[in-house]
Amino acid sequence: MFFPEAMNEVQLIVPSKDLLAVTNVLGSRGVFHQIDSTYLGVNSGPNTWQEKAARCSALERRIQGVLQILSLKEEYFESSGFDSEDLDMMRFAIESIEADVKATSDQWANEKKRLEQLESQLRQLEPIADINVEVGSFQNSRYLYSILGIIPASNISRLETSLSRVPHVLFTLKEDVHKPVVWILARRSNSDMIDRAVKSAYLNPLALPEKFEGTPAKVAESIRVEIESTKRKISDLDDALVKLANIHKSELYKLLWNVHVNRMMAEAIARFGQLRHTYVVVGWVPTSDLPSLTQRLKNVSKEILIEAMPMARAGHPSNVPVALHNPGLLRPFEMLVNTYARPRYEEIDPTVLIALTFPLLFGAMFGDVGHGLMLAAIGWLLSSKKIKALRGMASLGGLMTACGLFGAIFGFLFGSVFAFEDVLPENPFFKQFFWMKPLENIIETLGIAVGLGIALLSIGLLLNLYNAIRARDWARFFFDPNGLAGLILYWSLLGLIASIFIHGFPIPWPVFVILIVLGALASVALSEPLKRLVEGYRPLIEGGVGIYIVQTFFELLEKFISMFSNTMSFVRVGAFAVAHAGFCLAVFVFAGLASGGTNTGFGYWAMVVAGNIGVVLFEGFIVSIQTMRLHYYEFFSKFFTGGGLPYEPLALPGAQKN
């Protein structure tokens, strides 16, 4: 929970005879994150399994094609187990079904095509149906050049622009969003330009049916008669196809399942390293799933060799897939973490931490019992997925609920309920929970907020040290700006301020000045050279001493400013707590104005309700943004690098884990 799941790099040596059974176990368990290990094999080129995967893929498409012809949905119903010998049989079975269906489906397709042609011809004619001339006759005109055609709607105005210098007439005979029909008439002497223009505007000339003669109206009538006859034939063929679907349905689904599983297996095996009599399989398995997987593998293959190497968090194991393992309640916070970055394998997964600090900071800025409970109720409603239109926001629900509840807790501490600031502090029961009113203790509130910030930043720096220790990254531990030297610098600066302003502070200020100098030197000024020294890189200083000194000066300046600004950023927590009370005060001022100074009546209460809703919406947005900002910018940047690889296990349909 505090770290990504511990992973084992697993290497399997699988006898060829057990290959399929082992792959089946790997795929059906859904816990094995496969690595391409073809490079370990003796064949580096395309192997038979790739060919098999391609064959399966082609077969799958053929089955899908038949399903489509028979109007059957593409679904996977688990059928018989995997058997490698089935592939040829499956091909024969598919061919047999195809042959059975082919005659009817070809006839159906031909009739459909014929129907489409006829309907297309009819559509072409309909716009000009009321023209009592033979449109075709224009094509043989001596002086007039005419083109009738379909054009993309978006190209019509461009076509007109391109013909602006050529005398012409353009009629849009049919205003269709997708396929409008246009008719262009121009002088035959300009036919070259017209041809170039219509061609480049993607106008597809209409070929008027030659079989039919007469005016467009007469031709259209003949086509309609033919369309009716074709439709009757199609209807008869549809019935035939339904019968065929009923006959072949179960076999098709069985084939689809088998071919699909075959394909996935073949694709997986194609990425194994193939030796003479064995296969090398490499991948990652979470430690918790390793014993059961190992047992299952040994059950299906007595001679399998399994080597599992627990992956240490030391170093920078960037190729290890990262599987986060948090309880369902923490998923919204995991989402928040993943939005920033996926943790690396060696890093702390900050989900648990953020599940505490995010609602805490939010609640401190949104302290009101009523508002908090409102938010929590909305959050619960979202996560319960009771409102269909808001189901997409379900993942936000948990986050809102937690934030709302913390808002309510701080509401009790600040004595605020639905903007009423005096109700709770004066109630004998709730009085015992009352702490202080932020608006009346502004300096104290802001000071506590800064203190909270110092604590969070210090936790961030300490977590960075912890991450560095786990990764055995000693250069980072000692000399990173957020490492031990950085922590000493930060705490020394705080100590210096404390010793100056707090009378009788036990440690004299010169001690802090010395520590600041040492910390600044180690974490900024000499950080890079020291890191290079520890890691063995040369030269220690790049780009010359002069540039280095100038760069160091500005880095030091930046470091001090950023430490100050990072800390002061947390003032906003107190500031928003104060602002909340200010907003509440404003609500009652407006309510008083609405009631004409009587502080009662419909106007007064309507304004109180509207004001509360306004405060919840406005503050809710702003506070959530500020909370996110404080975490992403100030907190995460101290210890969280991110960039981990997602864990994507091999999972056949119906795999147990997923």
Alpha-carbon gap, residue 74 to 53, rounded angstroms: 20
Q: Does 46 bind another protein (CB under 8 A)?
A: yes
571 contacts another protein (rule: CB under 8 A): no
DSSP 3-state of 347: coil
Q: Which is nearer to another protein, 121 or 595 (CB)?
A: 121
If one asks whether residue 645 binds another protein (CB under 8 A), the answer comes out as: yes
* Under rule CB under 8 A, residue 537 binds another protein: no
Q: With respect to another protein, which residue has the nearer C-beta, 25 or 203?
A: 203
Instruction: Compute the distance between CA of residue 406 and CA of residue 627 in angstroms, rounded to an integer.
Output: 13
Minimum distance from residue 611 beta carbon to another protein (Å):
15
Of residues 124 and 492, the one with the C-beta less far from another protein: 124
Give the whole-angstrom CA distance, residue 393 versus residue 399.
11
d(CA 403, CA 397): 10
Report how far residue 648's alpha carbon sits from residue 217's, in angstroms, rounded to the nearest whole number: 63
- Only one of the segments 124-132, 489-497, 508-516, 639-647 lies at the binding site for another protein (rule: CB under 8 A); that segment is 639-647
Nearest to another protein of 161, 384 (CB atom): 161
Minimum CB distance to another protein, residue 241 (Å): 20
Residue range at the interface with another protein (CB under 8 A); choices 227-235, 242-250, 336-344, 468-476: 336-344
- Residue from 48, 71, 110, 161 binding another protein (CB under 8 A): 161
d(CA 238, CA 467): 67
Interaction of residue 538 with another protein, rule CB under 8 A: no
| C-alpha span between 654 and 77 (Å, rounded) | 10
* 56 part of the interface to another protein, by CB under 8 A: no
Backbone phi, psi, residue 575, to 5°: -60, -40
Q: Does 58 bind another protein (CB under 8 A)?
A: yes
Return the residue of 3, 433, 434, 632 that touches another protein, per CB under 8 A. Answer: 632
Conformational region of residue 260, where left means phi above 0, alpha means psi within -120 to 50, and beta covers everything else: alpha
In the complex, what is the shortest distance from the CB of residue 628 to another protein, in angstroms, rounded to a whole number? 6
- Interacting stretch for another protein, rule CB under 8 A, among 82-90, 92-100, 198-206, 424-432? 198-206
Q: Which pair of structure tokens corresponds to residue 320?
A: 């290890």
Smaller CB separation from another protein, 266 or 515: 266
| Number of residues this chain uses to bind another protein (CB under 8 A) | 45
* 165 in contact with another protein (CB under 8 A): yes
Residue 44 Cβ vs another protein, minimum distance, rounded to whole Å: 9
Residues 15-44 within binding reach of another protein (CB under 8 A):
36, 39
Q: Rounded to an integer, what distance in angstroms lies between the CA atom of residue 293 and that of residue 286?
A: 10
Tokens (6 digits) for 606 = 């309507």
To another protein, the closest distance from the beta carbon of 213 in angstroms equals: 26
Opening angle at CA 516, ends 513 and 518, nearest 5: 110
Contact 13, 278 (CB under 8 A): yes
Question: Is the backbone peptide bond immediately before 539 cis, with ω within 30 degrees of 0?
Answer: yes
Among 202, 430, 474, 590, binds another protein (CB under 8 A): 202
Per CB under 8 A, the list member of 17, 113, 188, 199 interacting with another protein is 199
Structure tokens given for 79: 């059928």
Q: What are phi and psi of 514, to 5 degrees?
A: -60, -45
Question: Among residue numbers 59 through 78, which ones bind another protein (CB under 8 A)?
Answer: 61
SS3 at position 586: helix
Residue 96 or 154 with smaller CB distance to another protein? 154
**Structural element, H or E, at residue 268:** helix 216-269
- Phi, psi angle pair for 47, to nearest 5°: -110, 175
Q: Tell me how far, at minimum, the Cβ of 288 lies from another protein, in Å.
A: 24
Residues 122 to 151 in contact with another protein, rule: CB under 8 A: 150-151
- Judged by CB under 8 A, the chain residues 316 through 335 that form the site for another protein are 318-319
Residue 200 vs 250, nearer CB to another protein: 200
Phi, psi of 205, deg, nearest 5: -60, 145
Burial 458-483 (b: 16+ CB within 10 A, else e): eebbebbbebbebbebebbbbbbbbb
Contacts of 165 (CB under 8 A, 6+ apart): none
Minimum CB separation of residue 247 from another protein in Å reads 28
3-state secondary structure of 290: helix
Residue type, 114: R
Phi-psi region of 213 (alpha: psi -120 to 50; beta: other; left: phi over 0): beta
Beta-carbon count within 10 A of 94 CB: 21
Restricted to residues 609-628, the positions that interact with another protein (CB under 8 A) are: 618, 621-622, 624-625, 628
The secondary structure of 417-458 as a DSSP string is BTTBSSHHHHSTTGGGG----GGG-HHHHHHHHHHHHHHHHH
Is residue 658 a contact residue for another protein (CB under 8 A)?
no
Which of the residues 170 through 189 are near another protein (CB under 8 A)?
A: 178
**Beta-bridge partners for 184:** 147, 170
Binding-residue pattern over the window 264 to 303 for another protein, x denoting contact by CB under 8 A = ----------------------------------------
Q: Which structure tokens are listed for 611?
A: 């004001």
- Binding another protein by CB under 8 A: which of 71, 157, 229, 246? 157
Q: Does 92 bind another protein (CB under 8 A)?
A: no
- Measured from the CB atom, is 159 or 266 closer to another protein? 159
- 193 near another protein (CB under 8 A): yes
19 close to 299: Cβ distance less than 8 angstroms: no
The angle at the Cα of 511, spanning 508 to 516, to the nearest 5 degrees, equals 130
User: Quick one: which of 196, 243, 298, 385 contacts another protein (CB under 8 A)?
Assistant: 196
Shortest distance, CB of residue 508 to another protein, whole angstroms? 39
Question: Is the CB of 98 or the CB of 160 nearer to another protein?
Answer: 160
* Between 508 and 544, CB nearer to another protein: 544
Which whole-number Å values give the CA distances from 505 to 143, 277, 497, 501, 508, in the listed order?
106, 76, 10, 9, 7
**List 200, 288, 600, 656, residue binding another protein (CB under 8 A):** 200
Comparison of 151 and 355: residue with beta carbon closer to another protein: 151
Contacts 24+ apart (CB under 8 A), 214-219: 214/134, 215/131, 215/132, 215/133, 215/134, 216/125, 216/128, 216/129, 216/130, 216/131, 216/134, 216/135, 217/129, 217/130, 217/132, 219/125
Q: Which of 6, 13, 57, 139 binds another protein (CB under 8 A)?
A: 57
Rule CB under 8 A: which residues touch another protein? 36, 39, 46, 54, 57-58, 61, 150-152, 154-155, 157-159, 161-163, 165, 178, 193, 196-197, 199-202, 204, 318-319, 339-340, 344, 618, 621-622, 624-625, 628-629, 632-633, 643-645
